[in-house]
């Protein structure tokens, strides 16, 4: 009996737990469902917050969401949808069935069991949510390969520069390479292509690029580099951002940093670029218009980007003109080549002009050729104003530090196209124009200042050294056109006619002109009548034909400071001196060269402010004693005056401020025109 009681007790005990569980399933379904709703609310809140955080990361930082996070959001949304639908069905079923119905008991059992399962599913999702430590994934930095690139054309001149740069970057001892050249010559395109090729060939694991510009903004440069390195700055200060950027770059074993459009020395440490011993694997490639920047930045290698050769320029030009030059007509080809020559091998000019004339009619080409000859590129229909060649060159002009340097640059545009500008000749104009009045009151010191000014312009890629004579410089044709364009917009208006300008004296600009240069018009004969030029300060002639100046021709030029009347004819021509010459009270430079001077030369002695006088090559037998009254004269040029011999010393003795004299036995520096 006791055994039966013991067995019965154990059986009853084993049935208690299942019966209790069954009772919970039958009678606690409402509690379980209520708990499920609470878990759903928690899941909904977690889902919404995570989704908001992800959207913020994408919108503000451009980051990419990790796949695990995206999968969780989808799973949570799917679960919330399914559970929500199920809970609605539970409410509907409860409303339709009676508690006393045996069907209701069975349904509540299933309902509670399903609610427990779904609650466990939601809790697993919430646990996974708590384990999410990072929303975004670390992507491969973009670097330079995703920076838009211009069309890169390989020419011999470009290829030489390209190879020089790459060889320098491959050299272990070279950490800084400078690329310099005039505006519009293709430096940016070149350094971009070097960066792409260097990355592609494995020379560097990462290549990044930033534009510096005339007014360097450290914050903006840091932002450009960070975008390519996927750096999210945690600091707001430039110093804090620099530390973070430096740390990121040091993680790259070999990194190339390209700094484009650099105008002055910049501190790489302020930006956050590890350089030299700070990170031997980091190299810097910079582009600039100013050679001096390469020096000040301690570039171990300087590479000059030169103009395109004639055949290269023609090839690039044709590439940008469409189909019209693929098989040009006999009428079009010479006009097109003339237009191309006016661009003088400057890639930017070739691109802008070529695209403006793409598939245009012959009459449009002829009009463009005429406008380019007159330095009016901006008037060519279709030329891209935003990429205007003159505007790009004007940036270099605007960056020149001192006003005398700017004015000297503009003075160079008074010389004809492709002209070899003699520095001494330019100095005579510049001194007379008052460029160096703020310096020491000395002719020789002004010449030294001129040499420094010329060096600044060469280093700024606005002038080029001559291939023939060290004392000469050249101005690129397009740069010269840009200079004339600048004067057309500014205070000093320059009027520079070309030989085909037959009616230039009727130009309304002549009344407001500061300078008129007829150096490109050697057969000019139009300046014989009275001209009212109340603002004129510079007037230049280079005659190869007879010039008749009427006595009153200078009466309307009271402000004239520089007058160059030079003959370049092979034979010595007569030049009657107009009486109105003596009324030019402000004249400081007077060049009367290679003439048989007629009339009263002694009137020159009345020019009380004259500092420079050249009678080089003139057929004079003696100097009038009245020239001894030139109390401000600093330089007297009598070179080539063979008939004068030494009959000038008495006048020289009276010139108390004279610093330099070129005696008659010295050879003339004036060139003779090739034409008869």
Q: What is the pLDDT of residues 614-635, one digit of tens each?
A: 999 999 988 999 999 999 999 9
Question: 326-335 burial, b if ≥16 CB within 10 A, otherwise e?
Answer: eebeeebeeb
Contact present, 135 and 54 (Cβ < 8 Å): yes
Alpha helices in 460-578, H assignment, sequence order: 477-489
CATH, residue 582: 3.80.10.10
Contact present, 648 and 664 (Cβ < 8 Å): yes
| pLDDT beneath 50, residues of the chain | 16, 19, 21-23, 25, 98-100, 103, 146-149, 385-387, 674-676
Alpha-carbon radius of gyration of the chain: 42
CATH, residue 426: 1.10.10.10
Residues 623 and 567 in one domain: yes
Quick check: is 565 in a domain?
Answer: yes
Alpha helices in 344-461, H assignment, sequence order: 347-356, 362-373, 389-399, 403-412, 423-433, 443-459
Residues 383 and 403 in one domain: no
Quick check: is 637 in a domain?
Answer: yes
Predicted pLDDT at 149: 46
Among residues 120, 36, 46, 130, the alpha carbon closest in space to that of 83 is found at: 36
Contact present, 308 and 345 (Cβ < 8 Å): yes
Residues 179 and 163 in one domain: yes
| Domain final residue pick, 387, 405, 433 | 387
| Domain final residue pick, 344, 364, 387 | 387
Q: How far apart are CA 523 and CA 545, in angstroms?
A: 5
Q: How many residues does the chain have?
A: 676
Predicted pLDDT at 545: 84
Q: How far apart are CA 103 and CA 97, in angstroms?
A: 8
Q: How far apart are CA 153 and CA 610, in angstroms?
A: 54
Quick check: is 3 in a domain?
Answer: no
Quick check: is 120 in a domain?
Answer: yes
CATH, residue 229: 3.40.50.300
Among residues 456, 406, 157, 167, the alpha carbon closest in space to that of 292 is found at: 456
Q: How far apart are CA 37 and CA 41, in angstroms?
A: 6
pTM exceeds 0.75, yes or no: no
Predicted pLDDT at 376: 60
Convert the pLDDT of each residue in 488-516 to its tens digit.
877 788 998 877 777 777 777 778 899 99
Predicted pLDDT at 595: 93
| Domain final residue pick, 273, 304, 335 | 304
Contact present, 571 and 545 (Cβ < 8 Å): no
Question: Could you count the other beta carbons within 10 Å of the beta carbon of residue 649?
Answer: 10
Predicted pLDDT at 616: 93
User: What is the total count of domains within the chain?
Assistant: 5
Helix or strand or coil: residue 660? strand
Q: How far apart are CA 285 and CA 203, in angstroms?
A: 14
Contact present, 468 and 420 (Cβ < 8 Å): yes
Residues 380 and 403 in one domain: no
Residues 420 and 457 in one domain: yes
- 336-340 contacts, C-beta under 8 A, 24 or more apart: 336/365, 338/369, 339/365, 339/368, 339/369, 339/372, 340/313, 340/314
Q: How far apart are CA 357 and CA 548, in angstroms?
A: 43
Residues 78 and 223 in one domain: no
Quick check: is 676 in a domain?
Answer: no
Predicted pLDDT at 526: 60
Residues 383 and 401 in one domain: no
The tokens for 441 are 């009151």
Residues 75 and 121 in one domain: yes
Residues 200 and 346 in one domain: no
Report the Cα 375 to chain-centroid distance in Å: 21
Q: Which domain holds residue 585?
A: 493-499+510-667
Quick check: is 193 in a domain?
Answer: yes
Q: Distances from the Cα of 647 to the Cαs of 184, 328, 582, 591, in angstroms?
A: 54, 65, 23, 20
Predicted pLDDT at 153: 58
Quick check: is 360 in a domain?
Answer: yes
Residues 320 and 229 in one domain: no
User: Terminal CA-to-CA distance of the chain, rounded, Å?
Assistant: 153
Residues 238 and 277 in one domain: yes
Q: How far apart are CA 450 and CA 542, in angstroms?
A: 23
Residues 54 and 177 in one domain: no
The tokens for 532 are 């009212």
Quick check: is 5 in a domain?
Answer: no
């Amino acid at each position: 009996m006791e055994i039966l009681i013991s067995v019965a007790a154990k059986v009853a005990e084993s049935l208690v737990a299942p019966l209790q569980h069954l009772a919970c399933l039958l009678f606690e379904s409402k509690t379980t469902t209520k708990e499920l709703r609470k878990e759903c609310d928690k899941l909904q809140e977690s889902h919404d917050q995570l989704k908001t955080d992800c959207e913020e990361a994408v919108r503000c930082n451009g980051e990419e969401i990790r796949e695990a996070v995206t999968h969780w959001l989808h799973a949570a949304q799917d679960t919330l949808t399914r559970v929500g639908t199920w809970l609605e069905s539970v409410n509907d079923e409860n409303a339709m069935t009676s508690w006393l119905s045996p069907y209701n008991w069975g349904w509540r059992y299933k309902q509670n069991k399903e609610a427990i399962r779904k609650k466990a599913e939601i809790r697993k999702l919430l646990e996974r949510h708590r384990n999410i430590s990072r929303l975004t994934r670390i992507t491969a930095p973009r670097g330079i390969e995703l920076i838009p690139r211009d069309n890169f054309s390989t020419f011999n001149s470009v290829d030489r520069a390209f190879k020089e740069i790459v060889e320098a970057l491959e050299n272990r001892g070279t950490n800084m390479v400078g690329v310099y050249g005039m505006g519009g010559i293709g430096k940016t395109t070149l350094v971009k292509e070097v960066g792409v090729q260097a990355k592609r060939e494995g020379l560097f694991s990462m290549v990044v690029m930033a534009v510096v510009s005339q007014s360097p903004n450290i914050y903006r440069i840091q932002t450009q580099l960070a975008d390519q390195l996927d750096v999210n700055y945690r600091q707001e200060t430039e110093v804090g951002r620099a530390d973070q950027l430096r740390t990121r770059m040091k993680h790259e074993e070999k990194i190339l940093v390209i700094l484009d459009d650099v105008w002055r020395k910049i501190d790489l440490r302020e930006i956050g670029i590890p350089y030299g011993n700070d990170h031997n694997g980091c190299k810097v490639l910079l582009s600039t218009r100013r050679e001096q920047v390469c020096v000040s930045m301690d570039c171990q290698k300087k590479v000059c980007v030169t103009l395109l050769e004639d055949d290269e320029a023609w090839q690039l030009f044709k590439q940008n003109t469409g189909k019209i030059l693929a098989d040009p007509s006999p009428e079009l080809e010479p006009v097109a080549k003339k237009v191309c020559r006016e661009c003088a091998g400057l890639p930017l000019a070739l691109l802008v002009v070529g695209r403006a004339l793409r598939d245009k009619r012959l009459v449009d080409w002829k009009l463009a050729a005429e406008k380019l000859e007159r330095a009016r590129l901006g008037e060519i229909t279709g030329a891209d104003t935003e990429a205007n060649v003159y505007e790009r060159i004007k940036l270099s002009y605007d960056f020149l530090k001192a006003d005398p340097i700017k004015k000297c640059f503009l003075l160079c545009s008074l010389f004809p196209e492709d002209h070899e500008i003699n520095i001494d000749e330019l100095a005579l104009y510049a001194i007379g124009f008052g460029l160096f009045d703020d310096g020491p009151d000395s002719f020789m010191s002004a010449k030294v200042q001129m040499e420094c000014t010329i060096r600044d312009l060469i280093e700024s890629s606005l002038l080029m050294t001559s291939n023939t004579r060290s004392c000469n410089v050249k101005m690129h044709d397009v740069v010269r056109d840009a200079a004339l364009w600048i004067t057309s917009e500014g205070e000093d208006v320059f009027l520079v006619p070309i030989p085909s300008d037959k009616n230039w004296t009727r130009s309304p600009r002549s009344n407001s002109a500061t300078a008129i240069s007829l150096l490109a018009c050697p057969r000019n004969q139009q300046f014989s009548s009275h001209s009212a030029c109340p603002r004129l300060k510079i007037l230049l002639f280079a005659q190869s034909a007879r010039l008749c100046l009427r006595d009153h021709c200078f009466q309307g030029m009271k402000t004239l400071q520089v007058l160059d009347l030079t003959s370049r004819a092979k034979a010595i021509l007569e030049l009657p001196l107009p009486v109105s010459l003596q009324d030019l009270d402000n004249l400081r430079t007077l060049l009367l060269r290679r003439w048989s001077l007629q009339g009263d030369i002694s009137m020159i002695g009345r020019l009380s402010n004259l500092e420079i006088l050249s009678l080089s090559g003139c057929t004079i037998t003696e100097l009038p004693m009245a020239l001894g009254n030139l109390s401000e004269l600093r330089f007297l040029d009598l070179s080539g005056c063979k008939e004068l011999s030494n009959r000038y010393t008495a006048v020289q003795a009276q010139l108390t401020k004279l610093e330099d004299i070129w005696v008659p036995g010295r050879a003339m520096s004036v060139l003779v025109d090739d034409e008869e």
